[in-house]
A and B are shown apart, each in its own frame.
Chain A
């Protein structure tokens, strides 16, 4: 798990501003309910840790999430807030499911 140092506010960066090789945890988003539900079903939800394989730089970006690689459009990546983490692998900073925010009801 990642915890922010108590003496300074947590750093939150949009996913599209991360660089290649950066590791981060999804820390929030301004996504629509449908998009959030889709990403959650694909395995990307709050507290999910991932590595950036291709930085956005105005275009789409690629992240590695567990064993899965996801390509995200720049618009989508800009709406995902992340918190950098230093842990060596995905599992180290992935919060147990019980500690995560409750799942959003998916839109039908």
Chain B
């Protein structure tokens, strides 16, 4: 025994159980928000670690991924083996909590049997006892405890029942006795034990759940199931776009206010510029997607909890397997239409590591909301007088992205991600009402992971990109100085104007002159900066796509984020005002090259459009890919492949449109 003033060492407990047995509900009930997702080195799957004090007992819980057996050749089974052997972080668990579904006692007992030999104290949590009762089964935890020789408690993470008793059982956990271990090796032990607890295996699952049958008939029907799934996803998609709108605007507004306050408070200079444009502007540009991410994970958690998502994966597998992807890949790919960041993060639904990696790599091909602004601009330039053709081109952009994603998936699964996929064998859990608490905790966890990423990798990237665009500082061009001087002169005349109308005219003229001076200064800075010089240097690379040095700079800066293209191109080519779609499109349509030919001819506009559909121009996405794959190798592959595909497709488009006379 320790001294009275020794710090209390929490009991470290590893939670093991089959998938869908309510293990994570128990974990969430005990830990609440005091939990975090842990990616252990060398592991492609994750576990959650949390702290809890239940009934005065301090616990450190490790929620291992659901497994059907710990000795399978699967990443989640390996993680469990490593945890049980103390290889995860060098700490052996003090006790194991085996979570067993009362409606499927035999399967739970097989798992118990496979972990019993770990020579660690064990306790058993018997879950789903309410469902077992509904099926006419009566299971006595005390009899199970006697049969297994370890404490056994009926618990329900959703309702919160049996939690204190479970903590006490963990405190009293004991190693499985040699007698039980020896007995478990005998053939028939699982069935005999199950029979002695529930009155014989004949009674297990003998009732057909009519409601499950009816719902499954609809949800897993090849046609009706697909319609239901697409409708459900459309609702999720709509919610992500609509409900996230207000919080996104609030975040943008708050960032803008903060930036304004910093700019007003701090003396003008490099530090202020770094904070306003590098740190606040860059991080806000990523954090603005937090509402979409939270909403997506909240809705997916609810759907998963109802048991529906497994059926949806079952239905979509028929389509997705043609492209080397599992049915579960449909959700991340569809979510990527809102934003690739939540799409990539939701690829965690996919159990097979290669399938998951393939999905992550192709998800950014899907047209996200950040591309919409660029599509609108370029489609307006291409088809100014034909809303029908403009609409067709717009839809074509979405189709092109999806086709590129699916073909890339086929290619990757046959080359760099070659190998046998896990066969599609899905457990379809029983339908039930979702737990709001669990969904909120999942949302909180995912949101936190995203924010940590935004505060580290993405922040560093934003600062680097700011520096490349802001330095070295260019001298203000003489033309801009002259305009500023004229603006000041005109402004000085406002007061002495004879009437209000004249005052207004003069004030407007002063504003216009000042804005023109700002655009000229910004244009000079863009071209003089490292990013601008890089643009000029690589202009010959982009010339085959029809881009001059200004468009090359605009494309290069948009590698930070696609939406930057619009503001950069209006600064470099137009008047700098990027608010009005029609006006910007008109201005750009009238822009010319050095030889006087139109800058945005049909061939160049089309090739730019194709380039923006296919290119990887989102640093936060690369950062999230790195986080989800655990290495920089895969974001590098993603970037290189998407850029190459975009370049080749844009070049081909340029040639094709030119051959139809689109250069004029």
Q: List chain A positions with a Cβ less than 8 A from chain B.
A: 34-35, 37-43, 51, 53-54, 59-60, 62, 64-73, 75-76, 88-92, 94, 96-98, 100, 106-108
Contacts and interface: CB of A to CB of B under 8 A. Distances in A.
A38 B518 CA distance: 66
A72 B424 contact: yes
B104 A67 contact: yes
A108 B425 contact: no
Nearest to A91: B202
Nearest to A20: B217
Given A75-B423, A76-B423, A60 B205 contact: no
A68 B205 contact: yes
Given A54-B216, A70-B425, A76-B423, A65 B205 contact: yes
B140 interface: no
Contacts of A53: 213, 216
B366 interface: no
A42 B425 contact: yes
Contacts of A75: 423
A66 B104 contact: yes
Contacts of A89: 202, 205-206
Interface string B99-123: 0000110110011000000000000
A29 B128 CA distance: 32
A41 B428 CA distance: 15
A97 B191 contact: yes
B664 interface: no
Contacts of B106: 43, 66
A99 to B, nearest CB: 8
8 contacts: A38-B68, A38-B74, A38-B422, A53-B216, A64-B208, A68-B107, A71-B310, A97-B192
Q: Which of B103, B104, B135, B310 counts the most A-chain CB atoms under 10 A from its CB?
A: B104
Q: Which of B189, B192, B423 counts the most A-chain CB atoms under 10 A from its CB?
A: B423
B427 A60 contact: no
Contacts of A106: 69, 71-73
B69 A69 contact: no
A106 B422 CA distance: 15
A67 B201 CA distance: 11
Nearest to A51: B208
A47 to B, nearest CB: 11
A91 B201 contact: yes
Contacts of B222: 59
A91 B206 contact: yes
B628 interface: no
B60 interface: no
B146 interface: no
Interface string B201-226: 11111101000110011001010000
A24 to B, nearest CB: 15
Nearest to B202: A91
B202 A71 contact: no
A41 B317 contact: no
B191 A96 contact: yes
Contact of B200 (A64, A66, A91): A91
A60 B212 CA distance: 18
A60 B318 contact: yes
A60 B318 CA distance: 7
Interface string B62-98: 0000011101111000000000000000000000000
Q: Which of A37, A67, A72 counts the most B-chain CB atoms under 10 A from its CB?
A: A67
Given A62-B220, A68-B205, A42 B191 contact: no
Interface residues on B, range: 35 or more
B103 to A, nearest CB: 4
B329 to A, nearest CB: 14
B424 A73 contact: yes
Given A69-B428, A71-B425, A107 B72 contact: yes
Nearest to B191: A97
A67 B188 contact: no
Q: Which of B67, B321, B425 counts the most A-chain CB atoms under 10 A from its CB?
A: B425
A66 B188 contact: no
A73 B220 CA distance: 13
B314 interface: yes
Contacts of B67: 41
Contacts of A40: 69
Contacts of A64: 205, 208
Given A38-B425, A94-B201, A71 B73 contact: no
B77 to A, nearest CB: 8
Given A70-B428, A75-B423, A97 B68 contact: no
Contacts of B191: 94, 96-97
B314 A42 contact: no
B429 to A, nearest CB: 8
Given A67-B135, A73-B425, A98-B186, 17 more contacts: A38-B68, A38-B423, A41-B72, A41-B111, A42-B107, A60-B318, A66-B204, A70-B427, A71-B220, A72-B424, A73-B424, A91-B202, A97-B187, A106-B69, A106-B73, A108-B71, A108-B73
B428 A62 contact: yes
A41 B68 contact: yes
A69 B103 contact: no
A106 B191 CA distance: 20
B190 interface: yes
A67 B186 CA distance: 24
A30 to B, nearest CB: 13
Given A60-B317, A89-B206, A68 B201 contact: no
Nearest to B326: A73
B437 to A, nearest CB: 25
Nearest to B201: A91
Contacts of B416: none
Nearest to A102: B187
A96 B188 contact: yes
B205 A67 contact: yes
A101 B104 CA distance: 22
Sorted nearest first, the 6 A-B pairs with minimum C-beta distance are A91-B202, A41-B68, A73-B424, A66-B205, A41-B69, A98-B187
